Structures are given as C-alpha cells and as structure tokens.
Amino acid sequence: MIKFTVTSTKGGVGKTTLTANLGALLADMGLRVLLIDADVQPSLSKYFPLAASRPAAGLTEVIVRGEVTEACITATMYQNLDIVVSDDPEGNLPHWLLNRIDRGFRLRFALQSPVVLDAYDCVLIDTQGAIGPLQDAAVLAADILISPITPEMLSAREFKDGTMELLDRLEPGSALGATLGPMKAVIYRQDRTTDARIIASGIRDDFIKFKGRVSVLDTVVPHAKAYKEAATLRIPVHRHERKREGVTPSASTVMHQLAWELIPSLQGVLADSMYNRQRIA
C-alpha cells in the first residue's frame, strides 16, 4: 500500500482537484483507493457523488479512535474509490489534536488498521492550505508528499518558504519524531504565457537546499477548463476529457503521466483497459 498526502501551505492551488482526480484515475486503473478528506472544509467529501445517501462516520472518528473502522468509510459512486469524509465543520478536531502528545502520529497509526491494509492499495489524503496539527498529522502519515505549485514567481517563492518551514518543523528528530516522506512538486495550472521550464529549473536550484528531499515532477498539469467542467459534472477528469485537439495534452494524458511518474510500476497501465475488462466481464 502506498500513501500520498497532497499538501501546500497555500489555498486554491489545486490540491482537492488533484487528489480527487488522481484517486479516481488510480481506481479506474484497478487499484483500490481510499481518499481521506483532512480539510475541515469538506470539498473532497463533496467532489464525487457518494454511493450512500448519507456518509458514514468520518475523519473525527478516525482521529479520535486512532483507528479506521468500516464505519468510517463511505463508498463513492465509482468502483474502487472510497472516502473518509471530513465531518468537522466547527473545526474542533485540530484543537482536540493539539492536546494530544501523539498528535503527529495519530493518523499515521490509524492508517495501519487492518481495514485499510487489507482493502486498499493506495491512500490519498487531501489537506487544507494552512498550517496546523491536522495538516502535520496528514503530512506525517504519508510515504510521499505531493505539492502542486502554480508557476508564478510569487507562488514559487511562497512554495519555497512554506515548504522549507514545513520540512524544518517536521524534520526527523523534531518534537514529533516521525520520518517525512519525499516531496514531489507538481507544476500546476501552467498557462501558455509562463514557461514551466524556467520556473521548474528555478525551483530545482532552490531545492538543493532541501538536501534532495524535494523534486519537481516532469509532468506539468496545464491550466485547462476540463478540470473545472469535470468538477461541476462530478466525474473524474480523465473520463471527461479523453482526447483533445491542439498543443495542450488532454486531461486523460496528463493524469496518466502523473500517475505513472508517481507510481512507476503502473507505467503503461491505462484506465480504459480497466473499463474494457469490466465491460467484457
């Protein structure tokens, strides 16, 4: 099982969109995927239609019990794709966590539950664009951190400062004492006026300071209306835009490249082959 946390100290960069669509693509590739909405504003929880009319218990139960049980998991309408919904509209959970000595490990340990280990190949955690105990717990729960970064100098600088602070704070040997996974930055919402290569090389240069802990993925997610349209339709973007004319690659192409880069053993696996198998079966 592999666990990803999508994180950024900035809001509105595309975390939820990326989490939802990557999760749905991996599910369509045949992996059993568990999404976890660790944002107190439940955008991921509302992203895809749920199979049940009411969600099960959610993140509060997971964090407070320190365990994931079947009662905390809700199926989405899509096969292989389940979710632990965010159910903390008042934002009590961060306060609760703050008083726990094991706050950094709480989610990490909860994900060791048999229900998760037996039933899922991949866990994807969405976080809020801010700093706090819930974000720390989500970051420390991951094998790999994914961080979308929009290619403007200002956000690149913010990314650098925010990431540096995050890595410093959660560094092994810190008060929380867990190992941080490597961080993969994804140049996200690239438009035709900015040159991702210049930004990417700038980020890479800066990241020498990060002692190889942060790398920039080759896959660049363009700014494209397909992502918004798919969100409105509540369908995975790789299903919404399979093919596209012109220079910008289709959302399906981009999301496949991203999945292959993040999980190299999936190289060449297509979501479509999965549908086809299902249709034949």
Binding stretches for ligand ADP (CB under 6 A): 11-17, 43, 129, 189, 221, 223-224, 227-228, 231
Of 100 and 223, which CB lies nearer to ligand ADP in the complex structure? 223
Judged by CB under 5 A, which of 16, 135, 147, 155 binds Mg ion?
16
| Partner whose binding site includes residue 223, from ligand ADP, Mg ion, none (CB under 5 to 8 Å by kind) | ligand ADP
CA distance 109 to 257: 31
Q: How far is the CB of 23 from ligand ADP (least distance, A)?
A: 13
Q: How far is the CB of 54 from ligand ADP (least distance, A)?
A: 24
| Partner whose binding site includes residue 94, from Mg ion, ligand ADP, none (CB under 5 to 8 Å by kind) | none
Of 19 and 252, which CB lies nearer to Mg ion in the complex structure? 19
Structure tokens at 261: 């880069």
Structure tokens at 116: 């998760």
Q: How far is the CB of 201 from ligand ADP (least distance, A)?
A: 21
23 Cβ contact partners less than 8 Å away, ≥ 6 residues apart: 33, 35, 81, 122, 124
CA distance 232 to 65: 34
| Partner whose binding site includes residue 157, from ligand ADP, Mg ion, none (CB under 5 to 8 Å by kind) | none
Q: Is 2 helix (H, G, I), strand (E, B) or coil?
A: strand
| Partner whose binding site includes residue 49, from Mg ion, ligand ADP, none (CB under 5 to 8 Å by kind) | none
Size of the site for Mg ion (CB under 5 A): 3
Reading phi first (left if > 0) and then psi (alpha if -120 to 50, else beta), residue 190 is in: beta
10 is a contact residue toward Mg ion (CB under 5 A): no
Q: Is 220 helix (H, G, I), strand (E, B) or coil?
A: strand
Of 116 and 238, which CB lies nearer to ligand ADP in the complex structure? 238
130 Cβ contact partners less than 8 Å away, ≥ 6 residues apart: 9, 11
Task: Kindly give the residue spans of alpha helices, DSSP state H, lying in the chain.
Answer: 15-28, 43-47, 59-65, 92-98, 106-110, 114-119, 133-140, 153-170, 196-206, 225-233, 237-240, 251-262, 271-280
Q: How far is the CB of 194 from ligand ADP (least distance, A)?
A: 13
Of 55 and 148, which CB lies nearer to Mg ion in the complex structure? 148
CA distance 168 to 133: 15
Q: How far is the CB of 6 from ligand ADP (least distance, A)?
A: 8
66 Cβ contact partners less than 8 Å away, ≥ 6 residues apart: 102, 106, 109, 110
Of 29 and 251, which CB lies nearer to ligand ADP in the complex structure? 251
Q: How far is the CB of 37 from ligand ADP (least distance, A)?
A: 11
Residues 29-88, interacting with Mg ion (CB under 5 A): 43
Q: How far is the CB of 220 from ligand ADP (least distance, A)?
A: 10
Of 113 and 150, which CB lies nearer to ligand ADP in the complex structure? 150
* Site residues, Mg ion (CB under 5 A): 15-16, 43
